[in-house]
Structure 1
Amino acid sequence: MSLNRIINSKSFDIGKSLLAFNLRYNGKFVPHPPQYRCFRTQARSLAYAKDLFLGQINKAEVFPYPEIGNEELEELNQFVAPVEKFFNENVDSKKIDEDAKIPSETLDGLKELGLFGMQVPEEYGKLGGLGLSNTMYARLGEITALDGSIAVTLAAHQAIGLKGILIAGTDAQKEKYLPKLASGEHVAAFCLTEPGSGSDAASVTTRATLSEDGTHYLLNGSKMWISNGCFADIMTVFAKTEVVDQEGVKKDKMTAFLVERAFGGITSGLAEDKMGIRGSNTCEVVYDNVPVPLENVIGEVGGGFKVAMNILNSGRFSMGSSGAGMMKKLIEMTAEYATTRKQFNKKLSEFGMIQEKFALMATNAFVMESMAYLTAGMMDRPGVPDCSLEAAIVKVFSSEGSWICVSEALQVLGGLGFTKNYAYERYLRDCRILLIFEGTNEILRMYIALTGMQYAGKILTGKIKEMKRGNLGMAVGMMGQKLRSSFGGTKDFGLTGKDGLVHPSLADSALKLEQNVYLFGSAVESVLYRYGKSIVDEQLVLKRVADVIINLFAMTAVLSRASRSISIGLRNHDHEVLLANTFCAEAFFKNNYMMTQLQKHAPENNDASIKKIAEQILEKRAYVCAHPLDRTF
């Protein structure tokens, strides 16, 4: 082969790209050199997921994939080993499920390991909290998730129960409450949901009335589905309070309170008999003239809704690492069975449809992990980063991925998986709640889509107004963009090529991401132009928008992670490339289909038929069709 032919060959281009990539990542051309491996040393704006709504890729937010420093990694490994040992030797998940209770000695062991104070700063308490970063917290969550009841008990305590003190509490509140909460001497609960207000948090009826002498509030009302509710010592309770606005008008607004059971007037109902996570405690809590000191307000009077949302938003990301931890355990268990069980003189593992299930489980676990640790790294940066959109995305994908994959793992075992002799049916029951709590996936899809659309709308408002006024130049520009989109147009975001941040072996997937993002920006603009403010009522449209953005963030996460793995030579990095390319290929085609349904003159998307079917059923409150054996003569 001549020199010119070698230089012009595709393999040479790939080789040049590979060399350039490794130089950029490991040499002097690295955008973020090795000393910046921990994202907490990088102060940047955080708008990656939101910028996708504008058809933009903010590379600096997600490349390179976040790493933690050597000291932090060494510290983390010191925590991981004893926690894994404890769960392997001291946690009887079958008994916890059957007895619907976590044994006191198990809880004591969790406390001794410091698992009740994982994210409480070290300065609080006799032994202090562990003061873990979000990344370290996510890693331990992989282990605690192996028992759903324990995972929920710990999460209810610290991911939401005491989190309000950490993010909005006063120094006095932290000094008073965190030491005993960190040690586990006191247990926390998060009390928001009421019998008449589930997902609609703003409609709570529990009320806190200022006493006549102005020294305390009197709390009255009830909360339901409260994890740790039967025994929690400290509760973050949300109640309506009367506030006076700047114009002197009295209004009811929600306020967050730190409430001690020792204040009196608190009654807990019987523990709920649940389908899954049976060892966790869930009950109704009633408040009858509970006196709450003024100093126990969290944040500002009337600012409770913001506190509640900040608490919930801060913890959702960890569902990705928890789900991945569960998936990895299930893959290990199921692979052992599939490689030893024989049917039709062949191992189960040799059948294509069984192999498909393992590919699905591994891909989902890889995506969950990749998104969770990317988001955790972003959250660990300095300041108060807003990763609420990314965290919600991780929660939706991971909860649904876990539910599907546990079902597939059970299917591999057939009848054995359906028995209580194996853990599969318990995992299935336990993970069903993931689609419901910390915000139902339906509500979170609305949140994801509307948050991003609002962000894009503020920036695109002027352009959209000009188009509606008949600005010919603007209209022609948009028509041209739509025409380019219809022919598979794209934009070079710099992910591939000579200066690309994605490894050449992932270049095709990176191009798919770039094309999807470019088309998504056009689709969002089209939707905003068509619906305007009424978009809030178009839930089926918003669902498609949310599903596309979930896939786009997932594609980004796996490409960033796999590129890092190759560059530093992690073991089995070729397997990561395979998983990343497989996921991106499937997500690309799903995204394209959903985005065509967002266009004004899209093929029939059945939205009108779906609404009509539902209306007819709900009007009758029954299945409408006649029985197939009925006659008219």
Structure 2
Amino acid sequence: MNRMSDLPKGGSFLFGETRFQDVFTPEDFTLEHKMLYRTAMGFVTDRVLAVMEELEEKRDGLNKQLIQEAGELGLNGLDIPEEYDGLDLDKISTTIVAECIGKGGSFAMTQGGHTGIGSMPIVMFGTHEQKKKYLPGIVSGEKAGAYALTEPGAGSDAMSAKTRADLSPDGKYYLLNGTKQFITNSAFADLFIVYAKIAGDKYTAFIVDADSEGLSLGPEEKKMGIKGSSTRQVILDNVKVPVENILFEIGRGHIVAFNILNLGRYKLAANALGASKHALELAAAYANERKQFGTPIANFGLIKEKLAKMAIKTYVMESMLYRTGGLLDGILHGLDTSGENGGQVAAKGIEEYALECSMNKIFATEAQGYVVDEGVQIHGGYGYCSEYSIERLYRDARIYRIFEGTNEINRTIIPITLLRRADKGDLPLQEAVQKLKEYIAAGGAAREDEAGLIQAAKDMFLLTMAAGLQKYGKNLQKEQEIVGKLADLAIQAFAMESAWLRTQKAVANEGETKAKLKSWMTSAFIYGTIGYLESIAKEILSALAEGQELESLLKDLQAVTQCTLGNTIALHRDIAAAVSEAGKYAV
């Protein structure tokens, strides 16, 4: 069992070095992990993709049937304790299944809504009686779960919800009134996690049975993508909810909502990874088969560059994701989650890495958007036609940047949370800034390898954060454009380091020859990212200062960004050759 004191604090990667021995990578999968991967991928390939056209046409009962089939394979109960018929596996196992399900298009939303946000509130915050009543059905798929948070006028600002809950005169139930918007699985859900304000002000979570009198549904939304998932309004008209169906505590529904979103964001990143691998596989196969001017288009330089960058982004998001999964497992293994309140203890532990969950969500969903877009481009005109799967992947991907808190909201979370933790003494921000000042005063030094460039990325974050605090103090959080760019610096530093640590671990364990593709992708990503980060840093500093002050800050920036870059064009060619030979993502 890990001791809490041995684990890195969330966000601490920015303020120190991490040993590659301390990160989890996909190369560390156990035999059980690999078997689970094969099971989940087999289910998606043989059952979900095989009926994708029928799913997209919303064949009645098909989603519920597939959820039940997933239940028969044990794919619904990974996060649920054995006491309630679940498997209670580690978070790496959860990540593996979420990644595989991500290949399944709209079904990823269906199954994720069922096993994630639709049931985890009960797992983490429910009473024993609530868990016993609802969780076995979630595991088997006999009961489908859904999450009803968003309202027509309350999206990112969930706390502005208008749905009310008023206690009945006899004190036995609450009457819920309001409308919930964009609710996944609503057409066939058996239970909803609903958020409402008791007496108009005490924000509270409830478990609401779908067959409750007064609960009705709006028509299916006509969506751009994920057409196979059900998305409707849930209308609550004096719906009676027994008082024993209050989830957690009155007035503390926000605790439930925000903690569930941490894990939801992480799992969504895993879905994005699975979809990206599928898109790359489709693109590589097409590029190998499609001939123009007498040769496969995979032989053309600009197509090689696209395949390489698609593979690089996929490798990086995979490295980030499983590194974070290892952190989540590490903290959970150090907690006693055996009691009735064990779920709350676990939720608090996961909250430690809320920053990393948001970083994964942003990076993975935006990388996914890039990968599917380039996948369409490689297909040319055919990529715009619905008979080619890449067209659906392109449409499906767009919602990922909106789900589970928009990427804009997640960006604001990152620097603000870092500042709050630094103020509490949990992160050594001031010490790191002082150390950077001393480095700059000494003239800096050219960064000549990947490790140096990663440190340069961290230094850019520290330099610009310090400048922001110097000008705005705690009011910096109100400057959203600057906060968003600070978040990008932090995210890319985490991405660069995650890929590099994974590669270093592979080199140590497998040797340089076997790990050469990983090394190529890591170097290409770091070389290709550092200049982008420097431009972001310049933009931030130019918004914070002018004249001699700006000139001084830009000189400081130059001191930390002196570097030597490698030949990314040659690296892209080598990576593309490996992708074309494999016909898919392979490392």
Instruction: For 1:594, give the aligned amino acid.
Output: I
Who is 2:466 aligned against? Answer: 525
How far, CA to CA, are the matches of 2:442 and 2:183 in structure 1? 50
CA contact under 8 A between 1:50 and 1:456: conserved in structure 2?
no
CA contact under 8 A between 1:191 and 1:238: conserved in structure 2?
yes
Among 468, 474, 482, which residue is 1:541 paired with?
Answer: 482
CA-to-aligned-CA distance 1:154-182 (integer Å, 9 cap, x gap): 11112101111111122222122111111
CA contact under 8 A between 1:117 and 1:184: conserved in structure 2?
no
Residue 340 of structure 1: how far off its partner (Å): 3.0
Who is 1:159 aligned against? Answer: 116
Residue 352 of structure 1: how far off its partner (Å): 1.4
CA-to-aligned-CA distance 1:127-162 (integer Å, 9 cap, x gap): x22323211111122221112211100111121011
How far, CA to CA, are the matches of 1:426 and 1:589 in structure 2? 33
How far, CA to CA, are the matches of 1:146 and 1:274 in structure 2? 19
Who is 1:305 aligned against? Answer: 254
Residue 518 of structure 1: how far off its partner (Å): 2.8
Residue 359 of structure 1: how far off its partner (Å): 1.1
CA contact under 8 A between 1:489 and 1:515: conserved in structure 2?
no
Q: 1:486 to 1:252 in 2, by over 3 A?
A: farther
Who is 1:481 aligned against? Answer: 437
SS in 1 for 2:521: helix
- Give TM-score, length-normalised by structure 1: 0.77
CA-to-aligned-CA distance 1:206-261 (integer Å, 9 cap, x gap): 0111222223222111101000112211111111124xxxxxxxx82311111112
CA contact under 8 A between 1:323 and 1:365: conserved in structure 2?
no
Among 116, 123, 130, which residue is 2:76 paired with?
Answer: 116
CA-to-aligned-CA distance 1:551-606 (integer Å, 9 cap, x gap): 0111121111111111221884110111111111222222222223333336999x
How far, CA to CA, are the matches of 2:242 and 2:7 in structure 1? 37
- Give TM-score, length-normalised by structure 2: 0.83
Q: 1:480 to 1:427 in 2, by over 3 A?
A: closer
Residue 58 of structure 1: how far off its partner (Å): 5.2
How far, CA to CA, are the matches of 1:314 and 1:459 in structure 2? 25
Please show how residues 282-321 of structure 1 align to structure 2 within 5 Å: 282-321=231-270
Among 18, 33, 42, which residue is 1:85 paired with?
Answer: 42
Matched, 1:511 2:452: yes
| RMSD between aligned residues | 3.0
Who is 2:284 aligned against? Answer: 335
Among 66, 76, 92, which residue is 2:24 paired with?
Answer: 66
How far, CA to CA, are the matches of 2:368 and 2:427 in structure 1? 39
CA contact under 8 A between 2:282 and 2:390: conserved in structure 1?
no
Matched, 1:100 2:58: yes
Instruction: For 1:179, give the aligned amino acid.
Output: P
CA-to-aligned-CA distance 1:441-476 (integer Å, 9 cap, x gap): 111111122212332345599999xxxxxxxxx9xx
Residue 360 of structure 1: how far off its partner (Å): 1.0
Matched, 1:394 2:360: yes
Who is 1:240 aligned against? Answer: 197
How far, CA to CA, are the matches of 2:528 and 2:546 in structure 1? 21
Who is 1:581 aligned against? Answer: 523
Please show how residues 398-437 of structure 1 align to structure 2 within 5 Å: 398-437=364-403
SS in 2 for 1:430: helix
Among 590, 595, 605, which residue is 2:537 paired with?
Answer: 595
SS in 1 for 2:495: helix
Unaligned runs of 5+ in 2: 336-348, 551-587
How far, CA to CA, are the matches of 1:417 and 1:346 in structure 2? 20
CA contact under 8 A between 1:223 and 1:284: conserved in structure 2?
yes
Residue 541 of structure 1: how far off its partner (Å): 0.4
Please show how residues 358-373 of structure 1 align to structure 2 within 5 Å: 358-373=307-322
How far, CA to CA, are the matches of 1:602 and 1:225 in structure 2? 46
Among 187, 190, 195, which residue is 1:230 paired with?
Answer: 187
Q: 1:345 to 1:486 in 2, by over 3 A?
A: farther
Who is 1:56 aligned against? Answer: 15
**Greater Cα shift, 531-540 or 574-583:** 531-540
CA contact under 8 A between 2:376 and 2:390: conserved in structure 1?
yes
Instruction: For 1:523, give the aligned amino acid.
Output: T
Who is 2:94 aligned against? Answer: 137
SS in 1 for 2:211: helix
Matched, 1:323 2:272: yes
Instruction: For 1:453, give the aligned amino acid.
Output: L
Residue 47 of structure 1: how far off its partner (Å): 5.2
How far, CA to CA, are the matches of 1:461 and 1:516 in structure 2? 18
CA contact under 8 A between 2:36 and 2:93: conserved in structure 1?
no
Who is 2:202 aligned against? Answer: 253
Among 150, 173, 186, which residue is 1:193 paired with?
Answer: 150
CA contact under 8 A between 2:36 and 2:96: conserved in structure 1?
no
Q: 1:105 to 1:252 in 2, by over 3 A?
A: closer
Unaligned runs of 5+ in 1: 1-39, 243-250, 465-473, 492-506, 606-633
Q: 1:278 to 1:462 in 2, by over 3 A?
A: closer
How far, CA to CA, are the matches of 1:514 and 1:252 in structure 2? 47
How far, CA to CA, are the matches of 1:480 and 1:85 in structure 2? 50
Among 172, 195, 203, which residue is 1:215 paired with?
Answer: 172
Instruction: For 1:421, give the aligned amino acid.
Output: E
Instruction: For 1:291, give the aligned amino acid.
Output: K
Instruction: For 2:526, give the aligned amino acid.
Output: C
How far, CA to CA, are the matches of 1:56 and 1:463 in structure 2? 7
SS in 1 for 2:227: coil
Instruction: For 2:216, give the aligned amino acid.
Output: T
Q: 1:263 to 1:366 in 2, by over 3 A?
A: same
CA contact under 8 A between 1:237 and 1:256: conserved in structure 2?
yes
Instruction: For 2:71, give the aligned amino acid.
Output: K
SS in 2 for 1:311: helix
How far, CA to CA, are the matches of 2:93 and 2:503 in structure 1? 20
CA contact under 8 A between 2:173 and 2:241: conserved in structure 1?
yes
Residue 484 of structure 1: how far off its partner (Å): 1.2
How far, CA to CA, are the matches of 2:318 and 2:429 in structure 1? 38
CA contact under 8 A between 2:174 and 2:242: conserved in structure 1?
yes
Q: 1:339 to 1:257 in 2, by over 3 A?
A: same
How far, CA to CA, are the matches of 2:534 and 2:111 in structure 1? 40
Q: 1:460 to 1:267 in 2, by over 3 A?
A: closer
Who is 1:440 aligned against? Answer: 406
How far, CA to CA, are the matches of 1:460 and 1:320 in structure 2? 26
How far, CA to CA, are the matches of 2:3 and 2:176 in structure 1? 44
How far, CA to CA, are the matches of 1:276 and 1:551 in structure 2? 28
Residue 515 of structure 1: how far off its partner (Å): 2.4
Residue 533 of structure 1: how far off its partner (Å): 2.7
Who is 1:264 aligned against? Answer: 213
Residue 487 of structure 1: how far off its partner (Å): 5.2
How far, CA to CA, are the matches of 1:423 and 1:57 in structure 2? 43
Q: 1:155 to 1:98 in 2, by over 3 A?
A: closer
CA contact under 8 A between 1:489 and 1:519: conserved in structure 2?
no
